[in-house]
Structure 1
């Protein structure tokens, strides 16, 4: 009786732990998609200008990218339960501050803090799964459900953001994290177990701050070029300071950090260097897609927030189909072929989307491009990750995975700043969106030649 009850209790606890981990990841991903639909309402309420509005997205993305690797290391050094709770608590507190913000600056600052919380929380969720599910098949199933939670958050976020913005206020796209996150914190405090942690704890906080500041300053300076021009001190000053911060980051990582955030020697592996560049381009294109389509549907086609949210469902569905199809296609045709297919589809979809006009109907001008470019997006990530992690030593597979995710976030942030400037420089909003989609198509087209820098995987 006792022997039967103990496994049942263990299985039940493991299921609750899985739920807690999935909910943490769900909130992290939700906060990307849920905000996009609320952007026009945020702009009207807080007085953002055309280039400033992108910082509602970018402040979150940049700090998330800059502190992601640090967050993963923190879970190993300080304990998964402590780090999970700390990350989620910071995420919820920043959500509350953002939901109550009465100025553009306060909202951007709150979004930046949310990004830090997400960077601490997200890696901890995977660490929890890895230590809870020790059987390989059980761990695979758990990670699959964790991935599905992220995909579901992307789909639900657009619709939920529309509902909350339409019937309550844009503020609730942030405030909703507080009660949900509070309940998850309480559950995590009860069900998560802490494991032993090393006594020697070294975190490269300096590196994380420098790389985040560097990319943020470059993005800010790029956004200033719309108003002041590329030769103005208002643009060159931040860009120069950002480049200096990034150079200092490289120096710290190479010479002074005892536990470097990014061991620079890893980039000597050709596959990892090429994969990082490819993911920067992927992030630049697809971050911009969500941002500009949200503005286009609501500001030009005059969709309600709910209708705009529903309009993104085909995009999410196509990404899921592409992602689920990629492994089977890779087994048959190889990862490089799938990577090229994804890049070609993405490029074609963005070129098609660039034909939008003042009165484009959803069925004629949005649905087709959505399916094509998002199928391409879904196909891209898996072969890049497979080629890069396959070229890395086994002990560094986690580091490489983190680098690829960071590259995508950084690319999205810098790309969004650049494309928002391109769009704002046009004579009319629709023309600006067309230019932005053309630039995104050009970025994805570069992936095709870059794919040949990736080595072929070893044969069976």
Structure 2
């Protein structure tokens, strides 16, 4: 045991954590990212078994994914705000534990309505884990180089789960039961939660906002703003998901789109009326150096991966008549290459993120071009699809990782929970909007070019995707400012910090207050 050591509110404790403890925590955070992503990807292989067991229609089975994604993306901002205002350790462990309980229960369900309800609630639990995990990760690895590597590895685990989930789900369906897709998540979640109870230091989330009076904390949550934006996202994603299946001319879809857009505009207006330290997304957030352009880049990665997986998994099984396992194995290059590319985080300390992200987007454009030109025949897998999977997955992962790293460096560390929520919200939002767009494009082209057994509709979707990647490349080339590259991340927003006049019970200013605690050095 060490003697009593002073720990300031910006927390020096992570610097005293042993390397072993830091690595264990990184693995725990990455396992959570893995579980959240696997919750969607593994079910792609299990859907036929779910439909047969529960008598689901095709639209109902779609909502097994959409219900999770809708609540997950909608509640990310609430989770991020809770992680910034309260201790992220509590938010993280609570989210992981709830995820385990809900997944365990889902494995025992045999009817449609209960499984859809459980999937929606599971999305809320998962939303509690990601921003809090990123907040803790930034605290555990305060050194910029270590932080870049850790964030890159964290992102890589999501990519691995995205592809590996297909294989895991296929193995459970073929050799056990689809119920094990849910139970597998529970088997991972419970040990992670238990380990983190003891391994995450309680003081790691201590910030000035954590030591505000309860009333000030409550105001800092901005429940009105969060509520408006959450409802707007629920309506928008529901409308987009429904539009891709029910048609964009549906009165319900159009009404929900209009209402959600009005609510989003109302949210941004509401934020301008609040003091800076009470707004969930202060308007100046968008003016942090490079923040807006990096947020725009974050719309792409999940869109690209989800689009490629969606198009080829259906085509290979329904048109080529490949088995579930064969389809999953042919998808493996996406995950393997993505994980390898996630280890490039340290490059951001040598080269400007601008050039790294541009390199990734360039590889992605080459890959998408290959997919647009070929891929419609089984024999085209090796000359077209395989190199496209390798180049595209590497490029998207590089862009994803370094956008993730750069966006955390752009904003103050005191806002890392909210920034993590916004980044992951952009990933989900981009995927939802993008999948709806390519589904509509594919369907409309197939209606006049030979039906679903022809490649024309899928090729048109990839040409559209190529245009999106090219537009993002132009945006990062023009709007990314390199003037703050490799500079230390600010700990607090100066304007927000200057508006805080809260004092402790003893009358000391929070900025001058130190907390003394006994800290064990492992």
TM-score bracket for the superposition, by shorter chain length: 0.7 to 0.9
* RMSD of Structure 2 on Structure 1 (CA): 3.7
Report the alpha carbon displacement of residue 87 of structure 1 after superposing the two structures with TM.
0.3
Whether 2:366 is the aligned partner of 1:348: answer: yes
- Residues 1:46 and 1:78: Cα distance change in structure 2 (over 3 Å): same
User: Which deviates more, 353-362 or 311-320?
Assistant: 353-362
* Residue number among 245, 260, 264 corresponding to 1:246 in the alignment: 264
Could you say which structure has the greater relative contact order, defined with CA pairs below 8 angstroms and 6 or more residues apart?
Answer: 2
- Normalised to the residue count of structure 1, the TM-score between the two structures is 0.83
* Residue number among 58, 61, 65 corresponding to 2:69 in the alignment: 61
Q: How many residues align structurally?
A: 454
- Normalised to the residue count of structure 2, the TM-score between the two structures is 0.74
User: Which deviates more, 367-376 or 288-297?
Assistant: 288-297
Mapped partners of 2:408, 2:87: distance in 1: 25
Query: Is the 1:222–1:235 contact (alpha carbons within 8 Å) kept by the matching residues of 2?
Result: yes
Mapped partners of 2:31, 2:335: distance in 1: 19
- Residues 1:374 and 1:239: Cα distance change in structure 2 (over 3 Å): same
- Residues 1:403 and 1:285: Cα distance change in structure 2 (over 3 Å): same
Mapped partners of 1:136, 1:315: distance in 2: 28
Task: Point out the structure with the larger helix share.
Answer: 1
Corresponding position of 2:396: 377
Corresponding position of 1:260: 279
The superposition leaves residues 254-278 of structure 1 with CA deviations (integer Å, 9 ceiling, x where unpaired) of 3358733222222234622222222
Mapped partners of 1:400, 1:177: distance in 2: 26
User: Which deviates more, 125-134 or 174-183?
Assistant: 125-134
Q: How does 1:179-258 map to 2 (within 5 A)?
A: 179-195=187-203, 197-198=210-211, 199-200=213-214, 201-202=217-218, 203-225=221-243, 229-255=247-273
Query: Is the 1:161–1:309 contact (alpha carbons within 8 Å) kept by the matching residues of 2?
Result: no
Report the alpha carbon displacement of residue 437 of structure 1 after superposing the two structures with TM.
2.7
Mapped partners of 1:107, 1:347: distance in 2: 39
Mapped partners of 1:277, 1:112: distance in 2: 27
* Residue number among 342, 352, 357 corresponding to 1:323 in the alignment: 342
Mapped partners of 1:134, 1:393: distance in 2: 12
Corresponding position of 1:445: 470
Query: Is the 1:226–1:424 contact (alpha carbons within 8 Å) kept by the matching residues of 2?
Result: no
Mapped partners of 2:358, 2:141: distance in 1: 35
Which ranges of structure 1 fall in alignment gaps of 5 or more residues? 4-8
Corresponding position of 2:173: 165
- Residues 1:236 and 1:19: Cα distance change in structure 2 (over 3 Å): closer
Corresponding position of 1:110: 118
User: Which deviates more, 207-216 or 239-248?
Assistant: 207-216
Query: Is the 1:284–1:412 contact (alpha carbons within 8 Å) kept by the matching residues of 2?
Result: yes
- Residues 1:96 and 1:416: Cα distance change in structure 2 (over 3 Å): farther
- Residues 1:37 and 1:293: Cα distance change in structure 2 (over 3 Å): farther
Query: Is the 2:288–2:410 contact (alpha carbons within 8 Å) kept by the matching residues of 1?
Result: yes
Which ranges of structure 2 fall in alignment gaps of 5 or more residues? 3-16, 487-522
Larger Rg: 2
